[in-house]
Each structure stands twice: as structure tokens, then as C-alpha cells.
Amino acid sequence: MHRRISHPGLQKLVMTAEQAAAMIQPGMTVAMSGFTGAGYPKAVPQALAAQMEAAHAKGEDFQIKVLTGASTAPELDGVLAKAGGMELRLPYQSDPTLRKRINDGELEYIDIHLGHVAQYTWFGFYGHVDLAVIEVVGINEDGSLIPSSSVGNNKTWLEQADKVIIEVNRQQPEAMDGMHDVYYGTALPPHRKPIMLVNPDDRIGEPYLRLDPEKVIAVVETDAPDRMTPFAAPDETSQQIAGHLLDFFDSEIKAGRLTNKLLPLQSGVGNIANAVLAGLSTAGYTGLTAYTEVIQDGMLHLIRDGVIRVASATSFSLSPAGIEEFNSNIDFYRKRIILRTQEISNHPELIRRLGCIAMNGMIEADIYGNVNSTHVAGTAMMNGIGGSGDFARNGFLSAFMSPSTAKGGKISGIVPMAAHVDHTEHDTMLIITERGLADLRGLSPKQRARVIIDKCAHPDFQPLLQDYFERASRDSLGKHTPHLLDESLAFHQRYVETGTSLPEPAGL
């Protein structure tokens, strides 16, 4: 009984999820574990959502503020959003029900660089943290915690929260013990010191999360898997985008700016990212390293095949097949994967010093290289900026990738002016679509516009973009970054009004 709970005092606090959830009160700020669908609490949020629904049925208000590491899953974000139980959410999400409530204006959402969340919490920017709900693999005899499939902000949540609820999940393999590296050397300004990490495989912390047992008010035992979405096989568009980036790596190696070991890789989540990772294998690379946020299927395969020697991250983001592969060969992977707190995995100074190659997706880019990662038509939130800004601004290379069109060719991925800007032209080096790669390094705004239109725009939209740029270069108030302000968002306005960025054919 309670085999994974070795601390005698905490064994006495084992209770049902319903009993634990009953300790969460309306108006609380609750910090929960979880990062990209891994390591989030499974039972307490569902019990809490049921209690919220019961309160609402009686006409009582029951909402809380929810902080996490990144996105979670239906058992957390989904059920709480469906219950109308969140008044505020940060810093990243991907649940469709939650997204709809955000875009309907029914709850407040703070989209923030993932590398900033822990320190902003310490600074007090989000107010007082009342309670933390953290999933772990197990509880050691001294009360320390074996982290789960994500570390995220759990160190900060455990330190900052007044009270703690622990979920001990038997589905998370015990063999993960020792895979984590939790750094306790951070401090508030002006007392910060250099972080002595010089290689992606350096260990600078501890394998466990520290815990004050006096804070714990409940321990809940669970047996539930992480909820991961299967990845589709890379399609032709994704493979073409990957091919352009791999050709670019070849040219950089020939120019002497990279070696055949490249530099530590950071990769966003998704099918394009997995296609890029798969391409590294077929291109013959070996002995690479990764310093990133998530380990996804493609990176797991590269580790298995020796393409990547070691990977540092803060979380997994695996499909069901990826989870099975990891669990079946965990002794192999635990020697080659390090999971850190996200304040270290996304630390700007470390990213800059290591020289990471940042590869992330986007919704759109404008002709001058400003990138929108988060908002459809400038107003509707998709998921959030995540960690892309942490890596794009500080990496050795920053690449943003997307198909040149969306919605079956109705929307252009390249627009005259981005309707929302997450990454300015100053942080963007490469724009890549299936059409080609635009290398923006060392180019002025007008030079960037010409190469982006030429290399990245879809043929259906290329003439429209070229015409806009030529007229703006002639008629704009200023000629440094030419724009026609009354037309600059015309692609977006047409989409909102008609469902396509393309104008109606002449004569209709």
C-alpha cells in the first residue's frame, strides 16, 4: 500500500481526489504542474471541475486563477474551462474549449515567454500563490519528490505556494528516477550569480524536487497516462520545408559558420519540427546535441539512432507510440535525456552562450520579417508564444517555419503587415515555407521584403505582395519600411469578411 510514498507522515495524508479538491476554495491562485501535455495532475482538476459545476448549479460563483508550466490536457485545462472555473490562465494553452472561452472574452489569459514565468512569480507580478497541485513519480523518505514527465515550473510552485497537494502517478515509470536536474542556485536581483552550465549534458542541480512536508495538505494516488495526441506522418509540405533548412545547414557548414555537429538544437512541437528532425537522420548527422523545451517523437528517434548524443529539455511531448518507445527502452534514454526546470531550459543567457539553433513554427510573417506566432487575424488567440521568443531572440540562428498558405490555399502565410507581432524583424533570421528559405541576415527592410516575397510567398499571393511592396515603396510616407497604412491589413480584412485573403476576381 502506498508503495511510492516513502515518507511516513505523507502516507497519512493519502485521500481521494474529491477530498483533496474540496480544499481548493473560490478565488484562489492555484499553480499546477504540466508542460505540453506531460506531467500534469489528472485526478484533482477533474474532481475540482465537478465541484465547480455543482456550485454553479446552485448559483454560486466558483472560479480560480490557474498557473502552469505550459499547456496541459483535457483532464486539466479542458474540464476546468468547460466548467467555467477559470477567471485567469497563464502562460500557454492548447485546449480548444479553453481557447474558445479566451476568444469569447469569458476569462483573462496572459500569454508570456515561458522562460519568464518563474522569475515573474518570484517578483510577485502574479500575486500570492495559495496552492500548488503537482504530479510526481514518487515521494522519497526525506520528503523530496521524484519529478514526473515534465519539470516545468514545479520548483517555483512548491517554494511559493502556501499549501501543496501531491498526485503520485503509478503510470509514470519509476525508472525516471535520476533523469531530472533541478537547479536551486537562482536568486533575485541583485544577488544573482552565473549559472555554471557550459554544455547541454552538464548537471548542475539535484535529481529531486525539495518539499516542505508541512505544506502538504493532501496526497492523491493516481494511475493515468499523459494525454498525448498522435503526430501525423510528415507530409510533402513539411518535408519540403525541412529540406530547405537542411540545405541551409549544408551551406553554413561549407561557409565555416557551423561544423558537422551543428550547435545545440531547439525545436518547437509539431509535424514540421518532426520532419526537420527526421531529415537530420537521413542527412547523415551524428553526435548532435539538443538544448530545448520538449522531447518529441522525432528527437527520441534521433537519440535512439545516435544522431543526437544528448538532449536537455524540461518536458516530454510524445505520441502514444513515443511513450511506448520511451517506456520500453527507458534505461537507454535516461542516460541521454536530462529534464530541467523551465527557468533553466529557457534561460536567455544559457541559450545565447550555448549558441542554440532555434526552429519554431508561426502563423504568419510579413514581408519585412515580423512574425506572428499567436493570433489569427490579429485578435483571436491560438495557443501562445511559448518558448519561441526565449530562443529566437537569444539563439545563434532563429528560423520560423510554416506552409505558405493555410485553409486550403485561402490564406497567405506571408502578408504585407503582420496583424500581431510576437517576434520582430530584429529577432528573425530565417523564414521558411515549402516555397523556399529567406535568409534575412544582414539585409535592410526593403531587401528583406524582396527576398521573402521571392523565396517564401505562394504564387497565388506573390503578385499581390509584389504590387503592394512596389506601390508602398513609391507612395509610403517613409521609404525605410514602406507601408500603405490603409491597405496594410487588407489580407486580414478580406479573410474576416469573406473567408479568404484573395480578392474577388475582376468583373465579378
Q: What is the pLDDT of residues 334-370, one digit of tens each?
A: 999 999 999 999 999 999 999 999 999 999 999 999 9
Beta bridge partners of 86: 64
Question: Which grid cell is 65?
Answer: 486563477
Q: Is the pLDDT of residue 276 over 90?
A: no
Q: Give the pLDDT score at 273.
A: 82
Please choose, from the candidates 258, 223, 244, the residue with its C-alpha nearest in 3D space to the C-alpha of residue 433.
244
The confidence band for 507, taking pLDDT boundaries of 50, 70 and 90, is very low
Percentage above 90 pLDDT, the chain: 92
Catalytic residue numbers?
A: 293
pTM here is: 0.95
High-pLDDT (> 70) share of the chain, %? 99
Phi, psi of 10 (to 5 degrees): -75, -25
* CA–CA dist 329, 410 (Å, integer): 44
391-450 tens-digit pLDDT: 999 999 999 999 999 999 999 999 999 999 999 999 999 999 999 999 999 999 999 999
pLDDT at residue 264, as a whole number: 98
- Cα–Cα distance measured from residue 304 to residue 299, given in angstroms and rounded to the nearest whole number: 9
Q: Which pLDDT score is estimated for 1?
A: 52
The stretch 197-219 carries a mean pLDDT of 97
List Cα–Cα distances, 160 to 31, 109, 393, in angstroms.
Answer: 9, 21, 29
Going through 47-157 in order, the beta strands assigned E by DSSP cover 64-67, 86-90, 108-109, 131-139, 145-147
Per-residue model confidence (pLDDT) at position 228: 74
Rounded Cα distance, 146 and 339, in Å: 12
Confidence of residue 506 (pLDDT cuts 50, 70, 90): low
pLDDT for residue 165 is more than 90: yes
Residues 6 or more apart whose CB falls under 8 angstroms from that of 470 comprise: none
- Tens of pLDDT, residue by residue over 133-147, are 999 999 999 999 999
For residue 508, pLDDT over 50 is answered with no
Q: What is the mean pLDDT of residues 44-60?
A: 98
